[in-house]
Structure 1
């Protein structure tokens, strides 16, 4: 759990929930509704400080507005201002039909900090990859040119760095070079966070820290040539990341796992 500091901003990242269109349907043999509820219970019981809740895509697995409303209902016990961005499995029109909350591109004023949310679902390839549109890249460049003295955290769904998994590298952010060039040219960008990988990652993009949160649903085994689920040990459990943004521009992140995995039986 994050150490509470009165002068800091606390962000919670939940990602890749993959709620199915109907309650009771399983995602890869997992009751993802129940598992997400267990994550929420864990957060409430541990008193995790949350000023802003970031939902970084693949929140519903090709479901309608009612599935997104169900997601928001499960998350209702958590404090904090909500923000969400779409992933490659999300239906953007359904997200917009469920609530007036902005969907995708958004700038959030965090006082000392700025949060930039990006939609990386442009130009899908049908396999899971996505891109930042030209308009999105221009918007990011314009925002980074403003208030360069304030530290920035950027959130998007698709990973902008390659991994040691061949199959996942084929469905990462397609125009990663354009994105990383903007990040590396803006020293005020202190961190970039994403989902999509269903695993924890901690690396760097130039001077910026890069973090990926595990999923609240299933986890993917890292460093694989082909798709493989993580099914044993602590890394198979659902998880989340918290971030503490300090007034001096420092940032700290912590990784938490919640268990056990909510196995179920497929409905007939």
Structure 2
């Protein structure tokens, strides 16, 4: 069995004392990392929006904290990130192996836009990669490939999600998808190609968004958190852990 932890949407800034709407992003990031570390993960994945505005200082703060983990960690870019600046501190890998499982990291960023897109070329490459290896697989991306029931967020989700699902109809080894962007716990099961694929979102380490809200709204009551995924021989188990922090710091 391998234990994977997902952390997302930290929105760090170069100033360690900078605030988000409900607290200090760096403090919350540090507290979530500490709780995640206690889970003794085999790997940690950050699913985007590590920084608020692509600042080198934000990524430096993130890497300094992440390098204190005792397991490998990986990240990918969200719509707020600058991939070129991120690469100065840590490269983005496109594949991770955990036990008998394979995780494929996908880039959904459309630089300068809040919405996401995979694009035809990346979908073609994904199909090739899946044809070449039938091991059980998870996809990891920033933008959600499904609607989540919030009108404002659905407008800035993955724009070519239908093309993704059409691609995945041929590949039953894909068992799950991890995404960021939505700042809330979320699970939806999609029937695809005769099988089922679970799509999982994750609480942010920064502000939480109010579920099923038509207009942008912050969930003042929800705490930061992370997702645990246990990858087993016969399947997987996943759940969300919340981290009790002060609402206003």
TM-score, normalised to structure 1, is 0.87
> What are the ranges of 5 or more consecutive residues in structure 1 without an aligned counterpart?
1-7
Within 5 Å, give how 1:159-170 maps onto structure 2: 159-170=144-155
Return 132-141 or 250-259, whichever deviates more: 132-141
1:261 to partner: Cα distance? 3.4
CA contact (8 A) 1:21 1:63 kept: no
Within 5 Å, give how 1:26-37 maps onto structure 2: 26-37=19-30
Root mean square deviation of aligned Cα: 1.5
CA contact (8 A) 2:5 2:36 kept: no
Q: Which residue pairs with 1:198 in the alignment?
A: 183
Pairing 1:132–2:125 present: no
> Tell me, what secondary structure is at the counterpart of 1:185?
coil
State how far apart, in whole Å, the 2-side matches of 1:259 and 1:40 are: 13
Pairing 1:25–2:15 present: no
Q: Which residue pairs with 1:12 in the alignment?
A: 5
**Segments of 4+ moved more than 4 angstroms:** none
1:93 to partner: Cα distance? 1.0
Q: Which residue pairs with 1:83 in the alignment?
A: 74
State how far apart, in whole Å, the 1-side matches of 2:241 and 2:65 are: 19
State how far apart, in whole Å, the 2-side matches of 1:159 and 1:245 are: 21
Q: Which residue pairs with 1:102 in the alignment?
A: 92
State how far apart, in whole Å, the 1-side matches of 2:55 and 2:210 are: 29
Q: Which residue pairs with 1:117 in the alignment?
A: 105
Within 5 Å, give how 1:1-268 maps onto structure 2: 8-44=1-37, 47-99=38-90, 101-102=91-92, 106-122=94-110, 126=113, 128-148=114-134, 150-206=135-191, 207-232=196-221, 236-248=222-234, 250-261=235-246, 263-264=248-249
1:63 to partner: Cα distance? 3.1
1:88 to partner: Cα distance? 0.2
> Tell me, what secondary structure is at the counterpart of 1:221?
coil
> Tell me, what secondary structure is at the counterpart of 2:62?
helix
1:29 to partner: Cα distance? 4.4
1:109 to partner: Cα distance? 2.4
1:123 to partner: Cα distance? 6.3
1:141 to partner: Cα distance? 0.7
TM-score, normalised to structure 2, is 0.93
Return 251-260 or 106-115, whichever deviates more: 106-115
CA contact (8 A) 2:45 2:75 kept: yes
State how far apart, in whole Å, the 2-side matches of 1:133 and 1:140 are: 11
